[in-house]
Structure 1
Amino acid sequence: MKRSWQIFWHIFSWICVIAFFASIARYSGKMTTKAVAVIFGLYGIINISVFYVNYLLLIPKFLNRKRYKLFVLSIITTLIAYGLLKYGVGLIFKDIILDRMKGQSIGFWKYFLNTFFITLIFLFLSTVLKFTIDWFLNERVQRDLENQRLTAELSFLKSQINPHFLFNSLNSIYSLAYQKSDTTPEAILKLSEIMRYMLYECNDNKVDLSKELQYLQNYIDLQKIRFGNKAFINFEVLGEVTNQQIVPLLLISFIENAFKHGIANDAQHPIQMRINVEGGRLYFFIQNKKHSHNRDAA
Structure 2
Amino acid sequence: MARKKIILTHIVFWTLFILLGIIMNVALHNNMHITWQAFWKDFTDPFTPIGYGRTIVVCYLSLYIFGLLISRKKYAIAAASVILMIGFDVSLRFLIEQKFVGPVFDKWQFPDGIAFGQYFAENVFFSAMGIFICFLLKIIDDMYRNEVIEKEKNAMELQFLKSQINPHFLFNTFNNLYGLSLSDPQKTPDAILKLSEMMRYMLYESNVEKVSLQKEVTYLQHMISLQELRYDDQTYINFDISGNLENYSIAPLLLISFVENAFKHGDVMDKKEPLIISIKLKDGKLVFNLRNKISYKNKDHVGGIGLQNVKRRLDLLYHNSYELDIKNDNVIFESSLTVNLN
In the superposition, relative to structure 1, how do residues 102 and 86 fare at CA in structure 2: closer, same or farther (>3 Å)? Answer: closer
Report 1:102-113 matches (<5 A): 106=114, 108=116, 111-113=119-121
Does residue 116 in structure 1 map to residue 103 in structure 2? no
**Which residue, 206, 210, 213 being the options, matches 1:209?**
213
**Which residue, 200, 208, 213 being the options, matches 1:196?**
200
**Equivalence for 1:151:** 159
**Equivalence for 1:92:** 99
- 1:147–1:205: 8 Å Cα contact kept in structure 2? no
- 1:99–1:105: 8 Å Cα contact kept in structure 2? no
In the superposition, relative to structure 1, how do residues 294 and 221 fare at CA in structure 2: closer, same or farther (>3 Å)? Answer: closer
Rounded Cα–Cα distance in structure 1 between residues aligned with 2:120 and 2:222 = 79
Rounded Cα–Cα distance in structure 2 between residues aligned with 1:193 and 1:82 = 69
**Which residue, 75, 79, 91 being the options, matches 2:82?**
75
Q: CA deviation at 1:64?
A: 10
In the superposition, relative to structure 1, how do residues 66 and 139 fare at CA in structure 2: closer, same or farther (>3 Å)? Answer: farther
The residue identity in structure 1 corresponding to 2:261 is N
**Which residue, 146, 149, 157 being the options, matches 1:141?**
149
The residue identity in structure 2 corresponding to 1:290 is I
Offset from partner CA, 1:141-170 (integer Å, 9 cap, x none): 100100110110111122111122134236
**Equivalence for 2:239:** 235
Rounded Cα–Cα distance in structure 1 between residues aligned with 2:109 and 2:148 = 51
**Which residue, 203, 222, 231 being the options, matches 2:226?**
222
Q: CA deviation at 1:213?
A: 0.8
**Which residue, 272, 280, 305 being the options, matches 1:268?**
272
**Which residue, 166, 169, 176 being the options, matches 1:161?**
169
What is the percent sequence identity of the aligned residues? 33
- 1:208–1:246: 8 Å Cα contact kept in structure 2? yes
- 1:276–1:282: 8 Å Cα contact kept in structure 2? yes
Rounded Cα–Cα distance in structure 1 between residues aligned with 2:264 and 2:66 = 61
- 1:90–1:97: 8 Å Cα contact kept in structure 2? no
- 1:173–1:226: 8 Å Cα contact kept in structure 2? no
Consecutive unaligned residues of structure 2, counting only runs of 5 or more, are 23-36, 303-342
Between 1:104-113 and 1:128-137, the stretch displaced more is 104-113
In the superposition, relative to structure 1, how do residues 240 and 125 fare at CA in structure 2: closer, same or farther (>3 Å)? Answer: same
**Equivalence for 2:27:** none
Q: CA deviation at 1:221?
A: 1.9
In the superposition, relative to structure 1, how do residues 119 and 56 fare at CA in structure 2: closer, same or farther (>3 Å)? Answer: same
Q: CA deviation at 1:244?
A: 2.9
Q: CA deviation at 1:135?
A: 0.9
Higher strand residue share = 2
In the superposition, relative to structure 1, how do residues 242 and 29 fare at CA in structure 2: closer, same or farther (>3 Å)? Answer: closer
Rounded Cα–Cα distance in structure 2 between residues aligned with 1:114 and 1:102 = 10
Rounded Cα–Cα distance in structure 1 between residues aligned with 2:66 and 2:301 = 62
Rounded Cα–Cα distance in structure 2 between residues aligned with 1:44 and 1:54 = 15
Q: CA deviation at 1:216?
A: 0.4
- 1:212–1:248: 8 Å Cα contact kept in structure 2? yes
The residue identity in structure 2 corresponding to 1:92 is K
In the superposition, relative to structure 1, how do residues 188 and 174 fare at CA in structure 2: closer, same or farther (>3 Å)? Answer: farther
Q: CA deviation at 1:116?
A: 2.8
Offset from partner CA, 1:74-123 (integer Å, 9 cap, x none): 33332223323332444433535897379775554553355434423541
Rounded Cα–Cα distance in structure 1 between residues aligned with 2:296 and 2:116 = 93
RMSD of aligned Cα (Å): 4.3
**Which residue, 180, 186, 198 being the options, matches 1:172?**
180
Between 1:166-175 and 1:133-142, the stretch displaced more is 166-175
Q: CA deviation at 1:277?
A: 2.8
In the superposition, relative to structure 1, how do residues 258 and 103 fare at CA in structure 2: closer, same or farther (>3 Å)? Answer: closer
State the SS of the aligned residue for 1:237.
strand
The residue identity in structure 1 corresponding to 2:218 is Q
Aligned length: 277
Larger CA Rg, structure 1 vs 2: 1
**Equivalence for 2:61:** 53
**Which residue, 278, 287, 290 being the options, matches 2:294?**
290
In the superposition, relative to structure 1, how do residues 64 and 234 fare at CA in structure 2: closer, same or farther (>3 Å)? Answer: farther
